[in-house]
Structure 1
């Protein structure tokens, strides 16, 4: 069975818009993916899959250092707030007589 060149041309002309549309969709998808990576700070990749690191220099490293310091300070503050919250929860849930006895015990310790 021989392939008729006229039929091949008809089939190719029918599939050309579909193939072009798929190609266009692939390019648009790649552009959107790259834009989202840049927007959210993900590293870009070369054609071989290796990450490309933008040359941020010292400014980016300084910003990371400052954010790390702030993170450590906030974690310390959160720890102290958790401790205070535990004390307040204990005060709220203890019986009043037990709380009064504990306060009196602390007063006598301070006097001695």
Structure 2
């Protein structure tokens, strides 16, 4: 490569690497950096508040998923158990 082509290739490689770096960082939950490598979200108090809200919502949803998994396990057990055993258990619950 000669002169301008070499410079353009370096610029293209650098910009591609920067875009890929930010895509990978965003996918894995890291803050995105600007042109000089500084994290954008660090100076933004609104981003901190948003992160706290997302964290609390994530905890709430994780609890909800756990409860739903338990309910699904019970429904699967009912669906796969023999009918006579399920009938006996229902009758035992009625007698309580």
Structure 1: give runs of 5+ residues left out of the alignment. Answer: 1-17
Task: Tell me the TM-score normalized by structure 2.
Answer: 0.75
Task: Tell me the TM-score normalized by structure 1.
Answer: 0.66
**How big is each residue's C-alpha offset from its partner over 1:59-110, in whole Å with a ceiling of 9 and x where there is no partner?**
110111111111111111110110010001000000000000001111112x
Question: Which structure has the higher relative contact order (CA within 8 Å, separation 6+)?
Answer: 2
1:22 corresponds to 2:12: no
> Secondary structure, in 3 states, of the residue corresponding to 1:52?
coil
Structure 2: give runs of 5+ residues left out of the alignment. Answer: none
1:34–1:44 Cα contact (<8 Å) kept = no
Computing the radius of gyration from Cα coordinates, the structure with the larger value is 1
RMSD: 2.2
Equivalences, count: 88
CA–CA distance in 1 between the matches of 2:49 and 2:87? 52
